[in-house]
C-alpha cells in the first residue's frame, strides 16, 4: 500500500502545495481522501485520472477540503465511457453537500447531455454518511472511520485504511481526542493536519489566531503519535506554510515528543505503508 500526497497545502494558496488531499493506492485501486484545490492536477502528476478513483472519503466539509469535488465529479463523468458512479463517504451533511454540488452543476450537466448523445444520465454520486465504525471491507481493503473534534465544524471524521499488512490513518483537521487515539492505535502511518501555534501567535490578527482553537499543534500531533504507538507521523496541511528549508524545524519540534519517524512531505511524495516489498 502506498500513500501519495496529492495536496499538502493549507487554505492559503501556495504555488507549490495544492489544497488538502491524499491518494491511497493498493493493488491497483485508488482511494482519494479529501479533494482540495488543484486535486486533479496532482492526480495527473500521480498518473491517476479521475475515472480511476474507486471511492472518495471526505473528512469534513470545510471548503479547503472540498473545493475540487465538483471538478472530480464532472471530469470523471465526461471522461468515462460510460462513467462509473463515484462513491463518496463522509460525515453527516455529505449527502446534502453532494446534492447541492449537483444542483450547482445543473446547467453544465444539461448542456453536456444535450450535446453528447452517449451521455444518457447525469453523474452518479452515491453517498454513504458515517458517524464512525466500519465503512468498507472486502478481501483486500478495510476502511474504518472515527469521529474527530474540529468544532464548530461538526461532525467530522478521520479514516483508517488497512491493506496488505499495513495501516494508515488520515486524521484530517482535529484536535487530540480519545477517538483519534483509538483510530491511530498501532498504525504504521498517521497523517495529521498541524499548525505552529508558536508562529501564529506572533501575528496579531484575530482571525488567524482563531485557527489555533480547532487544529492540532505539531506537539499535539507528536503526542497523539506517541500515545498511539504509530510508526511514522506525517505532518500535513501545515499552517503557516513552511518556508522552503524550514521543514526540519517542524520535524525537530515533533521529534521532542515522539520517537518514531517524522515526515513533512512535499506534493506528490510517495510513502510506503506496511511491510517492505
Ligand atoms: Zn477544517
Ligand atoms: Zn483544513
Q: For the chain, which domains are there? A: 2-266 (3.60.15.10)
Q: What confidence score (pLDDT) does residue 277 get?
A: 61
- Helix/strand number for the chain, H first, E second: 10, 15
Confidence bin at 214 (pLDDT 50/70/90): confident
Q: 2, 16, 34, 64: which is the annotated catalytic residue?
A: 64
> What is the number of the ligand closest to the CA of 12?
2
Find out whether 202 and 158 touch, Cβ atoms under 8 Å: no
- What is the percentage of the chain residues whose pLDDT exceeds 70? 100
How many whole angstroms separate alpha carbon 199 and alpha carbon 240? 8
Which of 145, 138, 140, 124 shows the shortest CA–CA distance to 57?
A: 145
Could you tell me the distance, in angstroms and rounded to a whole number, from the CA of residue 193 to the centre of ligand 2?
7
Active site residue 64: yes
Query: Which ligand is nearest to the Cα of residue 210, counting in written order?
Result: 1
Give residue 19 CA to ligand 1 midpoint distance, Å.
12
Crossing angle for the helix pair 247-255 and 218-228, nearest 10 degrees? 40
Give distance in angstroms: CA of 11 to centre of ligand 2.
6
CA distances from 237 to 53, 115, 264 (A): 22, 40, 10
Ligand with the closest atom to the CA of 7: 2
Q: What cell does 40 get? A: 486533479
pLDDT tier at 210 (50, 70, 90 boundaries)? confident
- CA distance linking residue 29 with residue 253, whole number of Å: 35
What number is the average pLDDT over the span 153-168? 97
pLDDT of residue 211: 81
**Ligand lying closest to the C-alpha of residue 67:** 2
Helix (H, G, I), strand (E, B) or coil at 60: coil
Ligand 2 centroid, distance to 17 Cα (angstroms)? 13
Query: How many Å apart are CA 255 and CA 253, to the nearest integer?
Result: 5
Q: How far is the CA of 238 from the centre of ligand 2 (A)?
A: 9
Residue 149 Cα to ligand 1 middle (Å): 10
pLDDT in tens, 91-136: 999 999 999 999 999 999 999 999 999 999 999 999 999 999 999 9
Amino acid at each position: 500500500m502506498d500513500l501519495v500526497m496529492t495536496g499538502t497545502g493549507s487554505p492559503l494558496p501556495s504555488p507549490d502545495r495544492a489544497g488538502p488531499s491524499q491518494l491511497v493506492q493498493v493493488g491497483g485501486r485508488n482511494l482519494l481522501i479529501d479533494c482540495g484545490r488543484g486535486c486533479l492536477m496532482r492526480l495527473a502528476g500521480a498518473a491517476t485520472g479521475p475515472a480511476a478513483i474507486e471511492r472518495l472519503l471526505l473528512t469534513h466539509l470545510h471548503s479547503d477540503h472540498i473545493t475540487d469535488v465538483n471538478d472530480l465529479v464532472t471530469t470523471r463523468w465526461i471522461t468515462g465511457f460510460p462513467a462509473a458512479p463515484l462513491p463518496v463517504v463522509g460525515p453527516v451533511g455529505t449527502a446534502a453537500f453532494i446534492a447541492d454540488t449537483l444542483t450547482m452543476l445543473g446547467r453544465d450537466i444539461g448542456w453536456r447531455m444535450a450535446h453528447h448523445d452517449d451521455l444518457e444520465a447525469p453523474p452518479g454520486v452515491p453517498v454513504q454518511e458515517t458517524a464512525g465504525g466500519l465503512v468498507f471491507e472486502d478481501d483486500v481493503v478495510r476502511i474504518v472511520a472515527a469521529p474527530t473534534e474540529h468544532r464548530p465544524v461538526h461532525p467530522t471524521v478521520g479514516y483508517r485504511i488497512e491493506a496488505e499488512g499495513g495501516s494508515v490513518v488520515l486524521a484530517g483537521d482535529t484536535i487530540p481526542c480519545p477517538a483519534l487515539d483509538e483510530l491511530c492505535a498501532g498504525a504504521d502511518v498517521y497523517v495529521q493536519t498541524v499548525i505552529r501555534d508558536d508562529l501564529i501567535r506572533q501575528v496579531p490578527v484575530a482571525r488567524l489566531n482563531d485557527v489555533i482553537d480547532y487544529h492540532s499543534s505539531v506537539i499535539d500531533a507528536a503526542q497523539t503519535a506517541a500515545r498511539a504507538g504509530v510508526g511514522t507521523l506525517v505532518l500535513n496541511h501545515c499552517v503557516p506554510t513552511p518556508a522552503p528549508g524550514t521543514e526540519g524545524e517542524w520535524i525537530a519540534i515533533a521529534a521532542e515528543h515522539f520517537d518514531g519517524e517524522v515526515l513533512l512531505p512535499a506534493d506528490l511524495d510517495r510513502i510506503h505503508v506496511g511491510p517492505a516489498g
